[in-house]
């Protein structure tokens, strides 16, 4: 097998292509996307994925599969089989839209994004947008509100994604695309969904990292928790989840637009436990999908 098409040394890319910045990839004869079970040598990426314009992602594999199936019904586009050959992530395609799950938290999501970004780069996909459709804990919003993120904060209230690399902390900008956020918000309004704009706090875990009082361990008191939630509110934060800063940083580095739409499962001003009955949970998890489905159908009509 011959060497694959070269990655530009300076990473420059004004063609709208999904961007990777790693000169070492040029030295590789093949590239195995281990967590999808796909390799350049055994999969025709341009043929399968060259037309992708939107990547819709969310944590749970069954929810992403359900979204892909529903979107196929909503749009009339045929649904692919699961294109992932590993049990780590699922991947479905409906026309120009790819549906991939990312698991819980930035570490899991970053594996998926690394491999998905390389896959789309090798496929020569252009002008791609990534939309994370998820669940979250709301800050001063009614349960069921769909929060369209207009910024992301790490646990130090910085608009940055922090990573440990080479024994050091590396901080990267974590911005989302404001125009895409606005368009998605407008789709929510036109679908009569309860939508809100706001910043999203990205926590490193579900319990202490989100100042819950119901984890296995807790070394702060109820007043400290209340102060934290009040501080979030003062900083314009409308919800807490576990991927936002990583997602914003990766999409920016890959030269793709990024947006995050999460339904609030509860209002953290009123408690910590998620106690929704099944029917309400299904109703809530469909809300961000309905918004994105309406937005995507509008885009498809213009393609």
Binding segment (CB under 6 A) for ligand R2B, from list 46-54, 129-137, 162-170, 213-221:
129-137
Q: Per-residue x/- marks for ligand R2B, 241-260, CB under 6 A?
A: xxx-----------------
Unique residue bearing structure tokens 């910045």: 21
Task: Report what 59 binds from ligand R2B, ligand URA, none; CB cut-off 5-8 Å by kind.
Answer: ligand R2B
Residue nearest to ligand URA according to CB distances in the complex: 137
Task: Report what 137 binds from ligand R2B, ligand URA, none; CB cut-off 5-8 Å by kind.
Answer: ligand URA
CB 211 within 8 A of CB 272: no
Report in angstroms how near the CB of residue 206 gets to ligand URA at its nearest: 5
Q: What DSSP state is assigned to residue 52?
A: -
Q: With respect to ligand R2B, which residue has the nearer C-beta, 134 or 198?
A: 134
Q: Per-residue x/- marks for ligand URA, 120-149, CB under 6 A?
A: ---------------xxx------------
* Paired tokens of 51: 């037309």
Residues in the chain: 303
* Paired tokens of 179: 């125009």
The answer to the question of residue 276 lying near ligand R2B (CB under 6 A) is: no
In the list 64, 241, 245, 251, the residue contacting ligand URA (rule: CB under 6 A) is 241
CA atoms 212, 244, 234, 291: torsion sign: negative
Q: With respect to ligand R2B, which residue has the nearer C-beta, 109 or 254?
A: 109
In the list 18, 242, 256, 292, the residue contacting ligand URA (rule: CB under 6 A) is 242
Under rule CB under 6 A, which residues in 166-205 are in contact with ligand URA?
A: none
Count Cα neighbours of 260 within 13 Å in the Cβ-side half-sphere: 34
Q: How far is CA 16 from CA 93, 124, 128, 174, 176, in A?
A: 21, 9, 8, 20, 17
Q: With respect to ligand URA, which residue has the nearer C-beta, 56 or 240?
A: 240
CA dihedral of 59, 62, 65, 70, whole degrees rounded to 10: -100
From start to end of the chain, where are the E strands? 32-33, 38-39, 54-58, 91-94, 97-101, 129-138, 146-153, 160-165, 168-173, 195-202, 237-241, 257-267
Under rule CB under 6 A, which residues in 180-239 are in contact with ligand R2B?
A: 206
Task: Report what 265 binds from ligand URA, ligand R2B, none; CB cut-off 5-8 Å by kind.
Answer: ligand URA
Report in angstroms how near the CB of residue 280 gets to ligand R2B at its nearest: 16
* Integer Cα distance of 172 and 28 in angstroms: 27
Contacts of 195 (CB under 8 A, 6+ apart): 145, 146, 147, 148, 185, 188, 189, 291
Q: What DSSP state is assigned to residue 23?
A: G
Binding segment (CB under 6 A) for ligand R2B, from list 113-121, 128-136, 157-165, 190-198:
128-136
Contact residues for ligand URA, defined by CB under 6 A: 135-137, 206, 210, 240-242, 265
Binding site for ligand R2B (CB under 6 A): 59, 104, 134-136, 206, 241-243
């Amino acid at each position: 097998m011959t060497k694959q098409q070269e990655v530009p040394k300076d990473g420059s890319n004004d063609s709208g292509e999904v961007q990777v910045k790693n000169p070492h990839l040029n030295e590789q004869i093949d590239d195995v996307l281990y967590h999808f079970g796909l390799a350049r040598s055994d999969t025709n990426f341009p043929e399968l994925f060259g037309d992708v314009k939107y990547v819709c992602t969310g944590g749970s594999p069954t929810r992403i599969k359900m979204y892909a199936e529903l979107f196929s019904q909503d749009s009339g586009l045929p649904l692919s089989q699961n294109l992932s050959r590993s049990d780590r992530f699922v991947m479905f395609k409906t026309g120009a839209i790819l549906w991939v799950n990312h698991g819980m938290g930035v570490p899991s999501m970053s594996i998926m994004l690394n491999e998905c970004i390389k896959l789309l780069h090798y496929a020569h996909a252009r002008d791609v947008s990534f939309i994370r459709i998820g669940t979250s804990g709301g800050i001063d919003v009614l349960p069921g509100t769909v929060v369209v993120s207009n910024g992301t904060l790490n646990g130090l209230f910085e608009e940055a994604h922090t990573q440990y690399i080479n024994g050091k902390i590396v901080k990267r900008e974590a911005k989302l695309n404001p125009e895409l956020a606005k368009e998605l918000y407008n789709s929510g309004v036109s679908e009569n969904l309860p939508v809100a704009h706001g910043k999203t706090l990205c926590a490193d875990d579900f319990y202490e990292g989100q100042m819950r009082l119901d984890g296995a361990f807790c070394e702060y008191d109820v007043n400290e928790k209340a102060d934290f939630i009040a501080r979030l509110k003062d900083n314009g934060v409308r919800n807490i989840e576990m991927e936002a800063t990583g997602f914003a940083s990766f999409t920016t580095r890959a030269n793709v637009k990024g947006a995050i739409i999460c339904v609030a499962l509860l209002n953290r001003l009123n408690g910590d436990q998620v106690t929704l009955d099944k029917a309400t949970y299904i109703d809530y998890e469909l809300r961000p999908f309905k918004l994105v489905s309406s937005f995507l159908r509008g885009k498809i009509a213009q393609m």
